[in-house]
Amino acid sequence: MTQAISSEGWFERLIAAVLRAVLRATLRPTFRAGRPIPEQRRRLELITRLTLPARGVAYLAASCGGVPGEFVRASGVVPGSSAILYLHGGAYCVGSHVTHRSVTSHLARRTVANIFVADYRLAPEHPCPAAVDDAIEAYRGLREQGWGPGQIAFVGDSAGGGLTLSTALKLRELGETLPAALVLLSPWVDLGNPDRGQPPPGEVMISLPWVRECAGLYLAGRDARDPLASPIQGELRGLPPTLIQVGQDEILLQDSRRLHAALVAADVPTQLEEYPRRWHVFQANAGVLADADRALESAAGFLRQSWAA
């Protein structure tokens, strides 16, 4: 099922315009082909300190299966019996548990789940399949801590969305029980060079040259058709119910549409939510942008339904 979600009033148009200007002035120059990866990481860490994580959320440094990261939990409530393995975006080269708190904190408030944000190894120091290996170990670590597969979901944004899918494919190959659900926010699922059309004018965060450069660093000579890197190339049958959310003003829109069609063809229960006039991983603007709040509330409802099933 594909659903286009739009309820933008004048005030939200104003907020969106301000956010676009800020993102274009800060993140777009950071995610620039040719800029050294260590510098990109430093800039991203500084910029994301200006975001607005949800109030009433606790962060606990931890590790799962030997993978470092942090648990994110709503404060003042008894954590539920469910858990989320969150895999952050950043084109496999940048990002951390800190840079994505604007998403994970709001998700924690809405799901009352135990969210483990994995600091999987990044390229170019650790090319594919290091990230997949770490995600698998983090999942095993959650299970060792007492959560069953039916109580766990995977959530990932951008490259983390692709990594979520690749991890599920590898777990199935290993014969391990898969989690209850997958939620993919603006997933990057094809590291080759598919025809993504002209970049929409509303894309304010990333560019195709940067995406291609990071793909090369992560692949490090590996075939881009390898499902560990480009999960859309894999056999998708038997995957858990999957929710995909994407903005219509982003260069990875076609990745989400192609993936949704492939999942439908593979008889995987799947939903695609498209948000008009929204940019890459707009959910990071939760607490400010109404569409971001709506999207995360929808994701939380999908997760609750999957855990209940």
Cα gap 243→236, rounded to integer Å: 14
Q: Which of 213, 274, 280, 306 is catalytic?
A: 280
First to last CA, the chain: 19
Closest CA to 152 of 167, 133, 130: 167
96 carries an active-site annotation: no
Q: Which of 213, 250, 273, 274 is catalytic?
A: 250
**Residue 213 to residues 5, 31, 32, 239: CA-CA distances in angstroms?**
32, 10, 9, 30
Inter-residue contact 246 to 256 (CB < 8 Å): yes
Which residues, including other chains, have CB under 8 Å from residue 132's CB and lie 6 or more apart? 163, 166, 167, 170, 228
Structure tokens at 308: 């209940």
Inter-residue contact 86 to 104 (CB < 8 Å): yes
Structure tokens at 279: 């940019």
**Which amino acid is residue 277, in one-letter code?**
R
137 carries an active-site annotation: no
Cα gap 82→309, rounded to integer Å: 12
158 carries an active-site annotation: yes
Which residues, including other chains, have CB under 8 Å from residue 211's CB and lie 6 or more apart? 91, 188, 251, 252
Q: Which of 96, 102, 105, 158 is catalytic?
A: 158
Could you tell me whether strands 57-64 and 67-74 are parallel, antiparallel, or unpaired per DSSP bridges?
antiparallel
Q: Which residues are catalytic?
A: 158, 250, 280
